[in-house]
Amino acid sequence: MQVHALTVGNTQVENNIFLAPMAGYTDYAYRKLQISLGVGLAFTELVSAKGLMYGGENSAELLFSGQDINKTSAQIFGADAYFMRSACESEYLQPFSIVDINMGCPVPKVFKNGEGSALLTDIKKAENIIKECVKSGKNITVKIRTGQKRGDDIATEFAKMAENSGASLITIHGRVREDYYSGEPDYNAIERAKNAVKIPVIANGGIFNKQDAENMINRTGADGIMIARGAIANPFLIVDLLDKETSVTLKEYMLNHITLMAERYGDRRASLEFRKFTSYYFKGKVGVKELKTALQTAESVGQIKFLISNYL
Protein backbone atom coordinates (compact mmCIF):
# COMPACT_ATOMS: atom_id res chain seq x y z
CA MET A 1 0.00 0.00 0.00
CA GLN A 2 1.05 3.60 -0.49
CA VAL A 3 2.19 5.08 2.79
CA HIS A 4 1.80 8.83 3.07
CA ALA A 5 1.14 11.62 5.53
CA LEU A 6 -2.46 12.49 6.32
CA THR A 7 -4.15 15.71 7.38
CA VAL A 8 -6.75 15.41 10.12
CA GLY A 9 -8.40 18.78 10.54
CA ASN A 10 -5.53 21.10 11.41
CA THR A 11 -3.20 18.30 12.46
CA GLN A 12 -0.66 16.53 10.25
CA VAL A 13 -0.26 12.82 10.90
CA GLU A 14 3.06 11.23 9.92
CA ASN A 15 1.55 8.29 8.05
CA ASN A 16 -1.76 6.63 7.24
CA ILE A 17 -1.37 3.46 9.31
CA PHE A 18 -3.26 3.80 12.59
CA LEU A 19 -3.35 1.59 15.68
CA ALA A 20 -6.92 0.83 16.77
CA PRO A 21 -8.27 1.38 20.26
CA MET A 22 -8.57 -2.04 21.92
CA ALA A 23 -9.91 -2.23 25.46
CA GLY A 24 -7.49 -4.02 27.72
CA TYR A 25 -4.66 -4.04 25.20
CA THR A 26 -3.73 -0.64 23.75
CA ASP A 27 -2.69 0.94 27.02
CA TYR A 28 0.13 3.45 27.35
CA ALA A 29 2.86 0.80 27.23
CA TYR A 30 1.62 -0.93 24.09
CA ARG A 31 0.89 2.32 22.27
CA LYS A 32 4.37 3.63 23.06
CA LEU A 33 6.01 0.53 21.62
CA GLN A 34 3.92 0.63 18.45
CA ILE A 35 4.56 4.35 17.98
CA SER A 36 8.30 3.72 18.34
CA LEU A 37 8.06 1.19 15.50
CA GLY A 38 6.29 3.65 13.20
CA VAL A 39 2.53 3.79 13.73
CA GLY A 40 1.25 7.13 12.43
CA LEU A 41 -1.49 7.60 15.02
CA ALA A 42 -2.43 5.47 18.03
CA PHE A 43 -5.76 5.60 19.87
CA THR A 44 -6.33 5.26 23.59
CA GLU A 45 -8.61 2.57 24.90
CA LEU A 46 -12.19 3.82 24.77
CA VAL A 47 -12.94 6.16 27.66
CA SER A 48 -16.35 6.96 29.10
CA ALA A 49 -17.19 10.66 28.77
CA LYS A 50 -19.39 10.47 31.85
CA GLY A 51 -16.66 8.63 33.72
CA LEU A 52 -14.26 11.48 33.02
CA MET A 53 -16.71 14.17 34.02
CA TYR A 54 -17.54 12.43 37.27
CA GLY A 55 -13.88 12.36 38.13
CA GLY A 56 -13.23 8.70 37.59
CA GLU A 57 -9.51 8.04 38.14
CA ASN A 58 -9.64 4.86 36.08
CA SER A 59 -10.99 6.74 33.07
CA ALA A 60 -8.32 9.42 33.34
CA GLU A 61 -5.57 6.79 33.66
CA LEU A 62 -6.52 5.35 30.27
CA LEU A 63 -5.60 8.67 28.65
CA PHE A 64 -2.01 8.87 29.88
CA SER A 65 0.28 9.17 26.84
CA GLY A 66 3.52 10.73 28.08
CA GLN A 67 5.76 12.17 25.38
CA ASP A 68 3.73 10.45 22.64
CA ILE A 69 0.76 12.76 23.08
CA ASN A 70 1.27 14.28 19.59
CA LYS A 71 0.89 10.85 17.99
CA THR A 72 -2.06 9.80 20.11
CA SER A 73 -5.78 10.40 19.78
CA ALA A 74 -8.12 10.08 22.72
CA GLN A 75 -11.19 7.95 22.07
CA ILE A 76 -14.36 8.61 24.05
CA PHE A 77 -17.82 7.08 24.07
CA GLY A 78 -21.22 8.08 25.33
CA ALA A 79 -24.76 8.81 24.25
CA ASP A 80 -25.24 12.20 25.90
CA ALA A 81 -24.09 15.13 23.77
CA TYR A 82 -23.65 17.35 26.83
CA PHE A 83 -21.22 14.99 28.52
CA MET A 84 -19.41 14.25 25.27
CA ARG A 85 -18.76 17.93 24.58
CA SER A 86 -17.87 18.56 28.22
CA ALA A 87 -15.30 15.78 28.04
CA CYS A 88 -13.79 17.30 24.89
CA GLU A 89 -13.49 20.64 26.66
CA SER A 90 -12.17 19.18 29.90
CA GLU A 91 -8.62 19.33 31.24
CA TYR A 92 -8.33 15.59 30.65
CA LEU A 93 -8.53 15.97 26.87
CA GLN A 94 -6.82 19.35 26.67
CA PRO A 95 -3.46 17.86 25.52
CA PHE A 96 -5.02 15.96 22.59
CA SER A 97 -5.48 17.68 19.24
CA ILE A 98 -7.59 14.77 17.94
CA VAL A 99 -10.53 13.21 19.76
CA ASP A 100 -12.25 10.16 18.31
CA ILE A 101 -15.88 9.28 19.01
CA ASN A 102 -16.63 5.58 19.30
CA MET A 103 -19.86 4.72 17.53
CA GLY A 104 -18.98 1.13 16.72
CA CYS A 105 -18.22 -0.75 19.94
CA PRO A 106 -20.22 -4.02 19.91
CA VAL A 107 -19.76 -4.97 23.58
CA PRO A 108 -23.15 -5.59 25.28
CA LYS A 109 -22.34 -3.40 28.30
CA VAL A 110 -21.79 -0.40 26.02
CA PHE A 111 -24.52 -1.27 23.53
CA LYS A 112 -27.24 -1.65 26.19
CA ASN A 113 -26.56 1.88 27.40
CA GLY A 114 -27.32 3.25 23.94
CA GLU A 115 -23.62 3.93 23.34
CA GLY A 116 -21.09 2.66 20.81
CA SER A 117 -22.72 0.74 17.96
CA ALA A 118 -26.19 1.44 19.36
CA LEU A 119 -25.86 4.93 17.87
CA LEU A 120 -25.74 3.48 14.36
CA THR A 121 -29.54 3.25 14.38
CA ASP A 122 -30.06 6.71 15.88
CA ILE A 123 -28.39 8.93 13.33
CA LYS A 124 -30.00 12.12 14.68
CA LYS A 125 -28.57 11.55 18.14
CA ALA A 126 -25.20 10.64 16.61
CA GLU A 127 -25.31 13.82 14.52
CA ASN A 128 -26.01 15.97 17.58
CA ILE A 129 -23.13 14.36 19.49
CA ILE A 130 -20.66 15.02 16.68
CA LYS A 131 -21.80 18.62 16.22
CA GLU A 132 -21.49 19.35 19.94
CA CYS A 133 -18.04 17.80 20.14
CA VAL A 134 -16.88 19.81 17.12
CA LYS A 135 -17.86 22.99 18.99
CA SER A 136 -15.10 22.17 21.47
CA GLY A 137 -12.53 23.16 18.85
CA LYS A 138 -10.94 19.69 18.76
CA ASN A 139 -10.35 17.79 15.56
CA ILE A 140 -13.18 15.30 15.85
CA THR A 141 -13.03 11.90 14.18
CA VAL A 142 -15.59 9.09 14.29
CA LYS A 143 -15.28 5.30 14.29
CA ILE A 144 -18.24 3.24 13.09
CA ARG A 145 -19.24 -0.16 11.74
CA THR A 146 -21.23 -0.87 8.59
CA GLY A 147 -24.34 -1.64 10.62
CA GLN A 148 -25.74 -3.68 13.49
CA LYS A 149 -26.92 -6.83 11.75
CA ARG A 150 -25.99 -8.65 8.56
CA GLY A 151 -27.48 -6.95 5.55
CA ASP A 152 -27.13 -3.46 7.01
CA ASP A 153 -25.18 -0.83 5.13
CA ILE A 154 -25.34 2.50 6.91
CA ALA A 155 -21.70 3.46 6.30
CA THR A 156 -22.36 5.85 3.42
CA GLU A 157 -25.21 7.67 5.13
CA PHE A 158 -23.25 7.88 8.36
CA ALA A 159 -20.07 9.09 6.68
CA LYS A 160 -21.92 11.90 4.90
CA MET A 161 -23.62 12.89 8.14
CA ALA A 162 -20.31 12.91 10.00
CA GLU A 163 -18.67 15.08 7.33
CA ASN A 164 -21.59 17.51 7.28
CA SER A 165 -21.46 17.68 11.08
CA GLY A 166 -17.83 18.79 11.04
CA ALA A 167 -15.91 15.54 11.56
CA SER A 168 -12.36 15.62 10.18
CA LEU A 169 -12.04 11.88 9.47
CA ILE A 170 -14.05 8.69 9.73
CA THR A 171 -12.85 5.15 10.37
CA ILE A 172 -15.05 2.30 9.16
CA HIS A 173 -14.77 -1.17 10.61
CA GLY A 174 -16.06 -3.26 7.73
CA ARG A 175 -18.23 -5.53 9.84
CA VAL A 176 -21.64 -5.26 11.48
CA ARG A 177 -22.13 -5.36 15.22
CA GLU A 178 -23.30 -8.98 15.36
CA ASP A 179 -20.09 -10.08 13.59
CA TYR A 180 -17.97 -8.67 16.41
CA TYR A 181 -14.43 -9.35 15.12
CA SER A 182 -14.88 -12.27 12.73
CA GLY A 183 -15.81 -12.68 9.08
CA GLU A 184 -14.66 -10.98 5.91
CA PRO A 185 -14.94 -7.19 5.93
CA ASP A 186 -17.53 -5.57 3.70
CA TYR A 187 -15.13 -3.87 1.29
CA ASN A 188 -17.94 -2.57 -0.91
CA ALA A 189 -19.61 -0.73 1.96
CA ILE A 190 -16.34 1.00 2.82
CA GLU A 191 -15.75 1.88 -0.83
CA ARG A 192 -19.21 3.43 -1.21
CA ALA A 193 -18.67 5.54 1.88
CA LYS A 194 -15.21 6.62 0.72
CA ASN A 195 -16.62 7.77 -2.62
CA ALA A 196 -19.38 9.75 -0.92
CA VAL A 197 -17.22 12.08 1.20
CA LYS A 198 -14.19 14.33 0.94
CA ILE A 199 -12.81 13.80 4.44
CA PRO A 200 -10.27 10.98 4.87
CA VAL A 201 -11.68 7.48 5.33
CA ILE A 202 -9.70 4.88 7.25
CA ALA A 203 -10.52 1.19 6.69
CA ASN A 204 -10.44 -1.29 9.55
CA GLY A 205 -10.99 -5.02 9.89
CA GLY A 206 -9.16 -8.26 9.15
CA ILE A 207 -5.67 -6.82 8.55
CA PHE A 208 -3.10 -9.34 9.75
CA ASN A 209 -0.38 -9.01 7.12
CA LYS A 210 0.85 -6.89 4.22
CA GLN A 211 -1.36 -8.67 1.70
CA ASP A 212 -4.45 -7.95 3.82
CA ALA A 213 -3.48 -4.27 3.90
CA GLU A 214 -2.96 -4.10 0.13
CA ASN A 215 -6.27 -5.87 -0.43
CA MET A 216 -8.10 -3.46 1.87
CA ILE A 217 -6.74 -0.38 0.13
CA ASN A 218 -7.20 -1.77 -3.40
CA ARG A 219 -10.78 -2.83 -2.80
CA THR A 220 -11.96 0.21 -0.85
CA GLY A 221 -9.83 3.13 -2.07
CA ALA A 222 -9.51 4.18 1.57
CA ASP A 223 -7.01 6.85 2.58
CA GLY A 224 -5.37 4.59 5.12
CA ILE A 225 -5.83 1.58 7.35
CA MET A 226 -6.27 0.84 11.02
CA ILE A 227 -4.59 -2.26 12.41
CA ALA A 228 -5.95 -4.00 15.49
CA ARG A 229 -5.61 -7.62 16.64
CA GLY A 230 -3.03 -8.18 13.89
CA ALA A 231 -0.71 -5.77 15.68
CA ILE A 232 -0.96 -7.79 18.88
CA ALA A 233 -0.48 -11.16 17.21
CA ASN A 234 2.49 -9.71 15.32
CA PRO A 235 3.89 -6.65 17.10
CA PHE A 236 6.15 -6.04 14.09
CA LEU A 237 3.25 -5.82 11.63
CA ILE A 238 3.72 -2.05 11.36
CA VAL A 239 7.37 -2.59 10.36
CA ASP A 240 6.25 -4.89 7.53
CA LEU A 241 3.61 -2.44 6.34
CA LEU A 242 6.10 0.41 6.26
CA ASP A 243 8.71 -1.73 4.44
CA LYS A 244 11.13 -0.91 7.21
CA GLU A 245 13.71 -2.93 9.05
CA THR A 246 14.18 -3.09 12.77
CA SER A 247 16.94 -4.50 14.92
CA VAL A 248 14.48 -5.09 17.78
CA THR A 249 13.89 -8.77 18.50
CA LEU A 250 10.77 -10.30 20.04
CA LYS A 251 12.75 -10.86 23.24
CA GLU A 252 13.74 -7.19 23.40
CA TYR A 253 10.20 -6.10 22.54
CA MET A 254 8.72 -8.21 25.33
CA LEU A 255 11.28 -6.97 27.85
CA ASN A 256 10.55 -3.36 26.86
CA HIS A 257 6.83 -4.05 27.16
CA ILE A 258 6.94 -5.45 30.69
CA THR A 259 9.38 -2.71 31.77
CA LEU A 260 7.04 0.05 30.58
CA MET A 261 4.08 -1.63 32.23
CA ALA A 262 5.94 -1.95 35.52
CA GLU A 263 7.02 1.71 35.45
CA ARG A 264 3.43 2.83 34.96
CA TYR A 265 1.37 0.31 36.89
CA GLY A 266 3.64 -1.25 39.48
CA ASP A 267 4.86 -4.81 39.89
CA ARG A 268 1.66 -6.70 40.73
CA ARG A 269 -0.62 -5.15 38.14
CA ALA A 270 2.01 -5.28 35.41
CA SER A 271 2.70 -8.98 35.97
CA LEU A 272 -1.01 -9.79 35.81
CA GLU A 273 -1.75 -7.58 32.78
CA PHE A 274 1.20 -8.98 30.84
CA ARG A 275 -0.23 -12.52 30.90
CA LYS A 276 -2.87 -11.86 28.26
CA PHE A 277 -0.22 -10.80 25.73
CA THR A 278 1.79 -14.01 25.93
CA SER A 279 -0.87 -16.03 24.08
CA TYR A 280 -0.52 -13.61 21.16
CA TYR A 281 3.26 -13.32 21.25
CA PHE A 282 3.73 -17.08 21.09
CA LYS A 283 0.87 -17.98 18.78
CA GLY A 284 2.04 -20.42 16.10
CA LYS A 285 5.49 -20.77 17.61
CA VAL A 286 6.81 -24.23 18.49
CA GLY A 287 8.82 -25.24 21.53
CA VAL A 288 7.51 -22.46 23.79
CA LYS A 289 4.67 -24.22 25.61
CA GLU A 290 6.50 -24.45 28.94
CA LEU A 291 7.75 -20.86 28.73
CA LYS A 292 4.27 -19.62 27.87
CA THR A 293 2.80 -21.46 30.85
CA ALA A 294 5.50 -20.12 33.16
CA LEU A 295 4.91 -16.53 32.01
CA GLN A 296 1.16 -16.84 32.51
CA THR A 297 1.66 -17.91 36.10
CA ALA A 298 4.57 -15.59 36.97
CA GLU A 299 3.74 -13.32 39.89
CA SER A 300 6.39 -10.63 39.60
CA VAL A 301 8.02 -8.49 36.94
CA GLY A 302 11.42 -9.80 37.96
CA GLN A 303 10.30 -13.36 37.36
CA ILE A 304 8.88 -12.44 33.95
CA LYS A 305 12.09 -10.73 32.89
CA PHE A 306 14.16 -13.70 34.05
CA LEU A 307 12.04 -16.13 32.03
CA ILE A 308 12.14 -14.01 28.87
CA SER A 309 15.88 -13.31 29.14
CA ASN A 310 16.92 -16.88 29.77
CA TYR A 311 14.44 -19.05 27.90
CA LEU A 312 13.37 -17.11 24.80
Rounded CA gap, 196 and 215, in Å?
20
Beta strands in 104-252 (DSSP E): 139-147, 169-176, 201-204, 224-227
Helices (H), the chain: 28-37, 49-53, 57-61, 81-88, 108-111, 123-134, 155-164, 187-196, 210-220, 229-233, 237-241, 250-265, 267-281, 289-297, 301-311
Within a 10 A sphere around the Cβ of 92, how many other Cβ atoms?
21
- 50 and 80 in contact (C-beta within 8 Å)? yes
Active site residue 88: no
The catalytic residue among 20, 47, 81, 105 is 105
Rounded CA gap, 260 and 263, in Å?
5
- 55 and 101 in contact (C-beta within 8 Å)? no
Rounded CA gap, 10 and 141, in Å?
12
Q: What is the chain's percent helix, strand, coil content, to nearest 5?
A: 50, 15, 35
Rounded CA gap, 141 and 127, in Å?
12
CA-nearest of 216, 112, 199 to 158 is 199
- Annotated catalytic residues are 105
